[in-house]
Structure 1
Amino acid sequence: MFAPRVAVASLSGESDADWARTASEHVGAAFLGGIALDEATRDTARQLVSRERNEFLPDDPVAFVDEQLAALADVPVRPAVNVRSATLPPIREAAAVCSRHDAILELNAHCRQEEMCAVGAGQSLLRNPDRLRRQVRTATDGGATVSVKVRTEVPGVNLPEVARQVVAAGAEIVHIDAMDSEHVVADVADATDCFLVANNGVRDEATVAEYLDYGADAVSVGRPSDDTEVLSRVRRATDEWFAEVVA
């Protein structure tokens, strides 16, 4: 899917092509975004900006995705774009753009802001796996390699079962924010046959080994994704872990 088995994870309003270029020496993939695609999620993003949260709000979000991916054409990293949408047509459009750039389209079932959940996006999709599966099928129909970003510790959600369903619908990657439930990575790994990326607190050899020992195929770095010292340390630890497994 990508190598080295380290990614940088999307940060709202911050993760753009320049950010990915800076990280590219140390990682195999960069998840840009998140991008609010439709009017419902864009209206919500504007509300979040009014509360001093960073958000990408270009005039044309799909054209913005195209421009950002084009800017990475000469960068040796697998690009990905994390998107939020309450409706299907813009997902199909973004998927077609990602397909042209050999980029991963990541569906956001992760954001926990009440406003985003209220319009049917973000982690509300974990409680409505039928809608999430429809998003996955729409994205795969658009030709994209599909990732689904999820989180643990959502009350009433059986995450391994949701992961199993989205993989059955066509997702090739599950990107899991483990919160304080790192062991759930093992449960998702057991429930699915997909490329599993583990996120949350990835900083050093110990955190890398914990996630990979639980069955993750790769790790991703969130908040310190602009810290090249952290990225270098995580890259080294990941390479060493896989070298030992092969040996």
Structure 2
Amino acid sequence: MSGSGRPFDPPVALASLSGESVHEWAERGAEYAGAAFLGGIAIDEESREAARAMVADRDRTEFLPADPLAWIDRQLSALADADVRPAVNVRSATVPPVRAAAEACVAHGAILEINAHCRQAELCAAGCGETLLRDADRLAEYVRAASEAGATVSVKVRAEVAGVELRETAAAVEAAGADCLHVDAMDSEGVVASVVEAVPDLFVVANNGVRDARTVREYLTYGADAVSVGRPSDDPRVLRRVHDATAEWFTESEQRREVQP
């Protein structure tokens, strides 16, 4: 990323894939991370209806707080004194609730993350999650609404989606006002380099399989500005390894720049 601003530092994020990311989880990992992505939660009626179906079919209750905006306010208020920047990952099939969630995040200095990532059939049928990834114009509308509300905006995406060119998606959301692209690389880690090449001014967070120095260095060598830890985000041993490896890599990178003629 060219430019001086970073949405969070240190450049390690907590990004639970269980969907059960709440303020207590963020507080436990704050020692090792610069950001914690809470949620994701369903915030409009269409996505909430899909979440209700998921509750009925698979007991996935974490997507469905009784009052999404009140949940955001409570969670972010609880993190007011934590040494980590909170972010809220939201699922929505419509734009207005995204704007409202962005305004709630602005009030707490939090990042608003638009979920264009989840592939559960119920969410996709409702028009959110991965469905947004397949429609860059519609995704850009969400980003624009959140950005115009004054939020720092992240977009969570995944690689290996048929018919989706992440370079083009990245360019579209950047033009709409996104600040971060949170890339689940799946088994295509090199996609991070392709995205960074396309949008060098977008803050790129690499996700998937981040566990140790080897995986950290792989993503940072590809040009990622930060990494995020998914499933083991509640394991302090993993977080410590990732934090230390990231700090070491950026220290070495700075030293290399200093000795260049």
Aligned residue for 2:249?
241
SS in 1 for 2:62: coil
Structure 2 residue matching 1:19: 3-state secondary structure:
helix
Give distance in 2, aligned partners of 1:9 and 1:60: 22
Who is 1:36 aligned against? 42
What is the distance in 1 between the residues matched to 2:234 and 2:139?
31
- Take 2:120 and 2:96, find their aligned partners in 1: how far apart are those partners? 23
Task: Summarize deviations over 1:24-53 as a string: whole Å, max 9, x none.
Answer: 011000000001000111111111122133
Q: What are the Cα deviations for residues 112-133 of structure 1, in whole angstroms up to 9, with x where unaligned?
A: 0111111110011111111100
> Do 1:17 and 1:68's aligned partners in 2 also have CA atoms closer than 8 Å?
yes
Q: CA RMSD in A?
A: 0.9
1:206 corresponding residue in structure 2: 214
Q: Distance in 1 between matches of 2:245 and 2:232?
A: 16
Deviation at 1:212? 0.2
From 128, 133, 158, the counterpart of 2:165: 158
* SS in structure 2 of the partner of residue 65 of structure 1: helix
Mapped to 2, the partners of 1:121 and 1:66 lie a distance apart of: 23
What's the offset of the Cα at 1:196?
0.3
Identity of aligned residues (%): 64
Q: Do the aligned partners of 1:11 and 1:33 also contact (CA within 8 Å) in 2?
A: no
Contact 2:14–2:36 (8 Å) recurs in 1: yes
Match of 2:232 in 1: 224
Match of 1:179 among 169, 172, 186: 186
Match of 2:128 in 1: 121
The answer on whether the counterparts of 1:195 and 1:217 sit within 8 Å (CA) in structure 2 is yes
Amino acid at match of 1:14: E
Look up the equivalent residue of 1:5 and give its one-letter code.
P
Match of 1:5 among 4, 8, 11: 11
Change (3 A) 1:10 1:220: same
* 2:85 maps to amino acid: R
Structure 1 unpaired stretches of 5+: none
How many angstroms apart in 1 are the aligned matches of 2:78 and 2:17?
18
| Structure 2 residues not aligned, in runs of 5+ | 1-6, 256-261
In structure 1, distance between residues paired with 2:158 and 2:69: 25
Which position in structure 1 is the counterpart of 2:74?
A: 67
Number of residue equivalences: 247
Q: Which of 48, 70, 84 pairs up with 1:77? A: 84
CA contact (8 A) 1:126 1:162 kept: yes
Q: Is the 8 A contact 2:18 2:231 kept in 1?
A: no
Letter in 2 for 1:3: D
Match of 1:2, SS state, is coil
Letter in 2 for 1:134: E
Aligned equivalent of 1:16:
22
Aligned to 2:259: none
- For residues 64-105 of structure 1, the C-alpha deviation after alignment (integer angstroms, 9 at most, x for no partner) is 101100000000101100000001111111110100111000
Deviation digits for residues 147-204 of structure 1 (CA, Å, limit 9, x no counterpart): 0000000000011111111011000000000000000000000001200000000000
Alpha-carbon shift at residue 56 of structure 1 (Å): 3.2
Name which of 149, 158, 163 aligns with 2:156.
149
Q: What is the distance in 1 between the residues matched to 2:177 and 2:152?
A: 9
Q: Could you tell me which amino acid in structure 1 is paired with residue 32 of structure 2?
A: H
